[in-house]
Amino acid sequence: MLVCLLRGMAGVALASDAQTTVDIEAQRAMLRTAAGGGYEVTTPAVGQTVYFHVGFGVTAPAGSLALSQRAQLDGVEVCAFTSNVAAGNWFSWCLDGWTATAGTHTLRWDLDYTNQVAETDESNNSVTMTWTSGEPSCAGDCNRSGEVTVSELITMVNIALGGTSLSACTIADTDGSGRIEIYEIIAAVDNSLNGCP
């Protein structure tokens, strides 16, 4: 008797789910340092490799739906795929990285770009992100003198340890993450020993 009751309750839930509307909402385009991971970068340095990501939400009844997804950089498709998603919040990404070039760039993600999913709102399926990557600079050259000094290296270490504000040497934050990472300090030491590029 208990089994029949549970089946009956499940049947009622499915019937009400059938009346739920479907909506796919592209929420945020972003750049990260690894496919499916790493950390977020707002303005990649020229020569830095980043991976295109998108955050989105799905409102749908029980089950999954096939969602087409496409990323374009400056109007050129860089990846496209279809994956099965269910109701909830999701992230997707392109598997191949892109090496930043100088200039202004726009990343655009289009979800359900093949229009295979009937939605209540088709106007929220795209999201863009625009940034400008400048010419390569000399990591660690806080005063932009063309060389990295020992005092500038010490400033970077103090920033990394939290004792000094990033504003003391913003050029050291080569990936635009808002913090100084160990690899950025290593690059600055290399520039100090071998000269700026």
The predicted-structure confidence for 145-188, as pLDDT tens digits, reads as follows 788 999 999 999 999 999 999 889 888 888 778 889 998 999 99
Same domain, 118 and 174: no
Classify residue 141: in a domain, yes or no: no
Joined together, the tokens standing for residue 72 give 């374009």
Classify residue 138: in a domain, yes or no: no
Out of 22-26, 116-120, 145-149, 175-179, pick the least confident: 175-179
Same domain, 9 and 94: yes
User: 69 has which bridge partners?
Assistant: 81, 111
pLDDT at residue 72, rounded to an integer:
98
Classify residue 57: in a domain, yes or no: yes
Out of 13-17, 99-103, 127-131, 142-146, pick the least confident: 13-17
Q: Select from 85, 108, 133 the last residue of a domain.
A: 133
pLDDT band of residue 43 (cuts 50, 70, 90) is: confident
How many angstroms separate the CA atoms of 118 and 158, rounded?
54
136 pLDDT exceeds 70?
A: no
Q: Please tell me the total count of domains within the chain.
A: 2
Higher per-residue confidence, 14 vs 87: 87
Same domain, 57 and 20: yes
Same domain, 41 and 105: yes
Higher per-residue confidence, 139 vs 125: 125
Same domain, 126 and 179: no
Q: Select from 133, 160, 179 the last residue of a domain.
A: 133
Q: Which domain holds residue 188?
A: 150-194
Classify residue 18: in a domain, yes or no: yes
CATH number at residue 105: 2.60.40.10
- DSSP E strands in the chain: the ranges are 23-34, 37-41, 49-59, 65-73, 76-85, 88-93, 98-99, 103-111, 126-133
pLDDT in tens, 47-75: 789 999 999 999 998 889 999 999 999 99
Same domain, 101 and 175: no
State how far the alpha carbon of 105 is from the alpha carbons of 49, 132, 139, in Å.
14, 6, 22
Joined together, the tokens standing for residue 26 give 């592209």
Classify residue 142: in a domain, yes or no: no
Residue 71 φ then ψ, to 5°: -115, 135
Same domain, 90 and 31: yes
Same domain, 65 and 110: yes
pLDDT at residue 82, rounded to an integer:
97
Same domain, 43 and 92: yes
Same domain, 164 and 80: no
Same domain, 103 and 164: no
Classify residue 145: in a domain, yes or no: no
Mean pLDDT of 107-112: 98
Same domain, 29 and 107: yes
Mean pLDDT of 79-106: 95
Burial 57-68 (b: 16+ CB within 10 A, else e): ebebbeeebebb
Q: Select from 103, 133, 163 the last residue of a domain.
A: 133
3-class secondary-structure state, position 70: strand
Joined together, the tokens standing for residue 45 give 């340095």
Q: What is the pTM of this model?
A: 0.64
How many angstroms separate the CA atoms of 112 and 67, rounded?
5
Mean pLDDT of 27-31: 97
Joined together, the tokens standing for residue 103 give 């200039």
